[in-house]
Amino acid sequence: MERKRRWFCFFMVLPAILFTVVLGLIPMFTSLGWSFLEYDLMRVQEHGTPFVGLENYRTVLNDGRFLRSISNTFVMTGLVVVVAIALGLVLAHVMKAEYRGRAIVRVLICAPWFVPPVVAAAIWAWLLNADRSPINSALMDAGIIESNIRFLTDSSTWGPFSIPLLSVTAVRIWNGLPFIVIFILAGMQSIPRDLYEAVDVDGGNLWSKFRHVTLPLLRPILGVLIMLLLITGIGHFEINYIMTGGGPQDMTNVMAVYSYLQAFNFFRFDLASAAGGLILLITAAICFFYIRTQLRNEDR
């Protein structure tokens, strides 16, 4: 019986595992392998793909553009994590509270979820077009600014920050917000109601409910959420690529865009794989902690 059950389990997982290995893990390790080869698509005919050790990593890490893209990746991911979670905490409460019209507010908050990222990036690029931006016109009418903000083209920088970087980050926050709100909301629903009633009895206010009940009890969920956002943020590609392609002057370039452009604009699969290898290294490290937390939760 036990043996039969074991075989049954193996057969049932086999197709999914085959797919995962062939389409997920093998390409991932192949890419890692390529990062140690010379793999220039323009020269592969006569040179082949000789082993060069860590040469590709040395090349990309000496490339100012790549260093810039690393710093942008972390700055953008950090901003997304902090701002989106803060905003998400507020909006999750709004979704949970009971009032008339809640159903509509819920759908409206989720709007970015069903707008495809490509469409979102294109519409935002149009909204942030300096001359015709309704945001500029509204700010100008309100007397807040004197001249148009060049959201996607301003080239002044303050350390790692610049207006294009902040603009693209704002679009990424916009894109990720529904997921974050729903994730926090799901966590909030598991908080027992009598804990809030206890605060009521003690005469505590809304803020102390949040500070002393919601936040401490959400901590494990926020931890998981932060790990997920770090992993997706560090590998993020679409919005940066479509909105600016990494420009102007690499101000919005991120590691994934750098990698993609190396491969498909410059045909340097080796450098692209080295950039990808670094993304893999960082995200796999975070992934390790994420998987460990998940498996531990299950054993409990």
Partner 1 sequence: MTTTTTEHMPRATGRRSGRKGGFARSRNADRLTRAIVIVVTVLALVYILLPVYWMVKSSFQTNADIRALPPHWYPHEFTIQAYLDMTYVIPIWRYILNSIYVAAAAAILSTLIGCSAAYVLARFRFPGMTLCLVAILATQLIPPITRAFPLYSAIQSAGLLNSYTGIIIAYAGFSLPFCVMLLRGYFMNNCPPDLEEAALVDGCSYFSAFWRIILPISLPGLAAVTIFTFLNAWNDFLWASLLLNQGDMKTVQVGIGDFSGEGGNVRYISMFMAACVTATIPALIMFLFVQRWLVSGLTAGSVK
Question: What angle do helix axes 163-188 and 102-109 make, rounded to 10 degrees?
Answer: 140
Instruction: Give the nearer residue to partner 1 in terms of CB position, either 140 or 213.
Output: 140
28: CB partners within 8 A, 6+ apart: 280
Candidates 14-22, 49-57, 60-68, 154-162; binding stretch for partner 1 (CB under 8 A):
14-22
Instruction: Give the nearer residue to partner 1 in terms of CB position, either 159 or 299.
Output: 299
Candidates 23-31, 43-51, 56-64, 159-167; binding stretch for partner 1 (CB under 8 A):
23-31
| Footprint (CB under 8 A) of partner 1, residues 228-247 | 228, 231-232, 234-238, 241-242, 245
Provide the strand spans (E) within the chain: 157-158, 161-162
51: CB partners within 8 A, 6+ apart: 36, 37, 38
| Footprint (CB under 8 A) of partner 1, residues 46-75 | none
Task: Provide the 3-class DSSP secondary structure of residue 156.
Answer: coil
Instruction: Give the nearer residue to partner 1 in terms of CB position, either 118 or 145.
Output: 118
52, 61, 110, 226: residue in contact with partner 1 (rule CB under 8 A): 110
DSSP 94-156: HHHS--TTHHHHHHHHTHHHHS-HHHHHHHHHHHT-GGG-HHHHHHHHTTS-SS---TTT---
Distance of CA 252 to the CA centre of its chain: 14
The Cα 40–Cα 168 span in angstroms is 31
50, 53, 101, 203: residue in contact with partner 1 (rule CB under 8 A): 203
Other residues' Cβ atoms within 10 Å of the Cβ of residue 148:
17
5, 193, 296, 300: residue in contact with partner 1 (rule CB under 8 A): 5
Question: Smallest distance from the beta carbon of 38 to partner 1, in angstroms?
Answer: 15
Interface with partner 1, residue 284, by CB under 8 A: yes
48, 54, 82, 126: residue in contact with partner 1 (rule CB under 8 A): 126
Question: Smallest distance from the beta carbon of 67 to partner 1, in angstroms?
Answer: 18
3, 46, 51, 131: residue in contact with partner 1 (rule CB under 8 A): 131
